[in-house]
């Protein structure tokens, strides 16, 4: 097997390949141009989306050429794969703004430089709106639609599931458009490989078939495992919602804490997928006698460093250690904690404890806050809150004049009094 494919296999990325032997031979012979689709429906991707892009990093490191394909055209329709309902359609302006934001986030793992360093493949971000929005519908049906069998399309799981709940004609066209993307990238960029999540298998195979029919050329598809946590939940979700890469939507401190608190059974799997540590080093961490909490700290620091930079990773690590060791008395160590400011006169007037915990988003709702307090899991400056209407006032401020809220054992929030 080609060395790069072996790396992806050993690190746990690969679910299936349309022809692994032929793809391996091609990658041994020459740099391969490949693409991964990017969903522009939001301004930030979350860590559950990142598996293909970490794989893209390993491919680029080996000299292959990545294309991040923004669905500026298809994003105006929506992919039915893995979805249970029609998605909201976006405007051109929304898609452009989201694409710019996402490119910056992907730049943490992919080098988009015009002239990349020696050995790296050249990465590009392109938008399928450039060729889809100007299509003549009749010409498209004659050239592309004639190559597709509705009977075969209905055998794909993504369509079978949606037929039971309702599938719009607009979404039914999605597979044709994604296949046309692959054909266009083959014609314009020499793209020979499409990579994506396991739910994209049907769309990828359809694109390969279209290229074979239209160009008499052989292209390939590679899908990745759906990453599930040990507790059976999808990767990328937390009690606060999706773990976004945008620091304004999910703070670097919370990001660090997400990784620090992963299940013991997930640690080494996530290290292989979401860090660039050598497999030999990861195997050393897995040896008997190694402190699993130290391994989790390394995972959290590495992942935060990759996405948010070393300075934010150091701040988050130091803040977490200070918070878990005490009330976070060292002001410098508090900087990485999520925080908010409140006026001194507001605190002096008294604030119900439940209100503070909801406002800080340590709990998502009043009912969750009441349950937390009733269970003895809510603390302010290490004093347990006894009831949801207990009033917090200026007398609760610590030596730094602040409040440190704690939910459970590991979730902290800093309130700065101004």
Binding-site entries for L-tyrosine: 35, 174, 178
Q: How crowded is residue 29: how many other Cβ atoms within 10 Å of its Cβ?
A: 9
Element (H, E) at 352: strand 351-352
* Token pair belonging to 257: 């804490």
- Burial 224-236, CB ≥16 within 10 A → b, else e: beebebeeeeebb
Question: What is the distance between the alpha carbons of residues 256 and 411, in angstroms, rounded to a whole number?
Answer: 11
Strand, coil or helix: 341: strand
Q: What secondary structure does DSSP assign to 106-140, as a single string? A: HTTTS---SSPPTTPPPPEEEETHHHHTT--HHHH
Contact assessment for residue 121 and residue 66, using Cβ atoms and an 8 Å cutoff: yes
Residues of each annotated binding site for ATP: 237
Whether 308 and 257 have beta carbons less than 8 Å apart is answered as no
- 83 CB-near residues (< 8 Å, 6+ apart): 162
Q: Which residues are annotated as a binding site?
A: 35, 174, 178, 237
């Amino acid at each position: 097997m080609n060395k790069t494919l072996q790396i992806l296999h050993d690190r746990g990325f690969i679910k299936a390949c349309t022809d692994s032997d032929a793809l391996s031979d091609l990658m041994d012979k020459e740099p391969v141009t490949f693409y991964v689709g990017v969903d522009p429906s939001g301004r930030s991707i979350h860590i559950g989306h990142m598996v293909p892009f970490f794989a893209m990093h390993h491919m680029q490191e080996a000299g292959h050429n990545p294309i991040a394909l923004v669905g500026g055209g298809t994003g105006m329709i929506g992919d039915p794969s893995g979805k249970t309902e029609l998605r909201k359609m976006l405007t051109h302006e929304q898609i452009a703004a989201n694409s710019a934001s996402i490119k910056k986030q992907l730049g943490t793992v992919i080098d988009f430089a015009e002239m990349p360093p020696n050995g790296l493949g050249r990465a590009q971000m392109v938008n399928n709106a450039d060729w889809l929005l100007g299509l003549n519908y009749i010409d498209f049906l004659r050239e592309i639609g004639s190559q597709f069998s509705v009977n075969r399309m209905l055998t794909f799981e993504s369509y079978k599931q949606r037929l039971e709940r309702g599938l719009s004609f607009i979404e039914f066209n999605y597979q044709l458009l994604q296949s046309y993307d692959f054909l266009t990238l083959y014609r314009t960029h020499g793209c020979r490989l499409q990579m994506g999540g396991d739910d994209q298998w049907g769309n990828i195979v359809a694109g390969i078939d279209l290229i074979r029919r239209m160009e008499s050329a052989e292209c390939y598809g590679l899908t990745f495992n759906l990453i599930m946590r040990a507790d059976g939940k999808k990767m990328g979700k937390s009690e606060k919602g999706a773990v976004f890469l945008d620091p304004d939507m999910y703070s670097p401190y919370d990001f660090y804490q997400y990784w620090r608190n992963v299940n013991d059974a997930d640690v080494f799997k996530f290290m292989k997928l979401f860090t660039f540590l050598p497999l030999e080093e990861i195997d050393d961490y897995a040896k008997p006698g190694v402190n699993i909490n130290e391994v989790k700290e390394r995972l959290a620091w590495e992942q935060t460093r990759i996405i948010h930079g070393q300075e934010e990773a150091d701040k988050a690590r130091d803040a977490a250690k200070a918070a878990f060791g005490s009330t976070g008395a060292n002001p410098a160590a508090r900087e990485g904690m999520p925080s908010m400011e409140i006026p001194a006169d507001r605190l002096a007037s008294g604030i119900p404890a439940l209100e503070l915990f909801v406002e800080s988003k340590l709990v998502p709702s009043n009912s969750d806050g009441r349950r937390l307090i009733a269970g003895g899991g809510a603390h302010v400056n290490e004093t347990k809150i006894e009831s949801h209407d207990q009033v917090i006032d200026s007398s609760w401020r610590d030596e730094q004049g602040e409040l440190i809220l704690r939910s459970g054992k590991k979730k902290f929030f800093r309130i700065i009094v101004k």
